[in-house]
Amino acid sequence: MLAPLADYVRALRGWRRVLLTIALGAVAALALPPFHIIPVLLVAFSGLIWILEGHDVEPRPLRGALLTGFWFGFGHFFLGLHWIVEPMLVDPARTAWMIPFSWPGLAAGLAIFPALACGVQAIGRFGNNTAARVLVFAGLWTVSELLRGFVLTGFPWNLIGYVWAGNGPGLPMLQASAVVGVLGLGTITILASAMPAVLGAAGPGSSWLSTLVLVITLLIPALLWSGGLYRLQNTEDSYVPDVRLRIVQANIAQKDKWNPELRTQHLEKYIRLTNTESPEKPTHVIWPETAVPFLLANDALIRGQVARAIPPEGALITGSVRSAFHDGGRQLFNSLLVIDWAANITQVYDKSHLVPFGEYVPLRGVLPVEKIVPGQGDFTAGPARRLIDVTGLPAFSPLICYEAIFPGQVTPDDVRPAWLLNLTNDAWFGNFAGPWQHLAIATSRTVEEGLPMVRAANTGISAVVDAHGRVQGWMGVGVEGVLDTALPRPIPATPFARWGNLIPLILALGLVVLGLVLLRRRDTA
């Protein structure tokens, strides 16, 4: 059916092939938030499969496949992570010079993972057995995404499964991540997106078997979507009694946040918003990451001012920079503090997964750069994840900023929380794609874990999301105000909550084995 087009793509060489590959990668990024143009994946991944098939007749197919995977990944991440320039424009005199290096450099670094997926599949020598190639490719892509979440501390941003994230028409499909995780959902998405390439198979590869695989592959997403819709329609909203949360979003621009002349004004704004009159009084108040430019843990006077806005017998949960002696010297921590109505600090959590080049510089003394976050010295990572207990609240797992983007790593290993609390400052990400991507990524953890999430962001997007990924309330980008909300209840632990990333890994390796079996069967037929 598509054989002439497929033959044309396979025959491309040189710069034409490179440009098409980059373009296909960029097109695939349009399926991700905030665009959600999901059908473009059919074009992007079917086209990529045809290009990979074109390497089979070349003298060095492995080298060609590696380069194709790299250029596809470069286009994909260059467009999908275009917001990476925003942090360097907050203080352009100091950091704008990094843009020509950081933007393409990050895209090139992340492109190594698609390159590995494409390169390893080339070893199979699939010839015109397109169905087998797609099965193996989908599994290898997932393995590469899994590796991306761990190598060099990990950066699993914009995994393909996130095309279904958000409170939109993709939410029923996202329900499958309760079993297979977002990584496994990405496996199914790649499989369905790349399998139409069999319609361009040449010769024996266009047999009834390939057509059958195509039909089955397209049916799988339809069945998952239907099952997810049924799951959503057969659940009832349930909330923790006697809990009323107030999320404060002060909308302070990042360029003004640490201005010493404005810091008292920032504090007063948070206190004023916290004291907003409402028919139903809050029991607990939540401020975002590093909410005010004071070291609250080290400044009892400022804590006393803050405490006047805390509900009686309640608490304030806030992000704050904290200074403390650690390993023989004074260190800085990006922390979550719980402050009671008497100005006492009752709980502290120090961010344990720091942002490279944002909060610390890897190989400091070798690399001639400074971290993007202003201030002297690097932040210090805290210990492993743990639960936080606050009087009047169920125990929660704290997630500061991008700690929420790691599938299977948002709760302690030995105990299950009742909810997730994500404090973040997305003012660094600008006003377009960055905040929406971060929201979609973070709130996907709710479906995976079966846990609700409360999210407080300095400039947005603050939100309350239930254990099925449904947004119960939110404040958009650039909005100043408060969000008063009940706390949704958790649901029983999902399969993914119990087994984590082992499930998508087994699914991915199973597809690789199935593809190799199909290849062997066709070769011996």
Residue with tokens 């390939």: 210
Our answer to whether residue 86 is catalytic in this structure is no
Of the residues 118, 359, 401, 403, which is catalytic?
401
Length of the chain: 525
Helices and strands, number each (H, E), in the chain:
18, 11
Q: The tokens 């797609």 sit on which residue?
A: 134
Tell me the HSE value of 410 on the side-chain side, using a 13 A CA sphere.
Answer: 33
Q: Are 481 and 272 in contact (CB under 8 A)?
A: no
Q: Which of 53, 86, 145, 289 is catalytic?
A: 289
Rounded Cα distance between 137 and 122, Å, is 9
> Is the bond into 34 cis (omega within 30 degrees of 0)?
yes
Q: What is the DSSP string of 32-90?
A: STTT--TTHHHHHHHHHHHHHHHGGGSS-HHHHHHHHHHHHHHHHHHHHTGGGGHHHHS
Give the position of tokens 């494409």: 118
Handedness of CA 126, 131, 133, 139 (dihedral sign): negative
Verify whether residue 257 is a known catalytic residue. no
Beta-carbon contacts of 337 under 8 Å, excluding residues fewer than 6 positions away, are 296, 297, 316, 317, 318, 319, 320, 322, 345, 347, 348
Catalytic residue among 53, 118, 145, 351: 351
Is residue 304 classed exposed, middle or buried when 0-12, 13-18 and 19+ CB atoms within 10 A define those classes?
exposed
351 included as an active-site residue: yes
Residue 470 tokens read as 């449904």
User: DSSP class of residue 399?
Assistant: E
Catalytic residues: 289, 351, 401
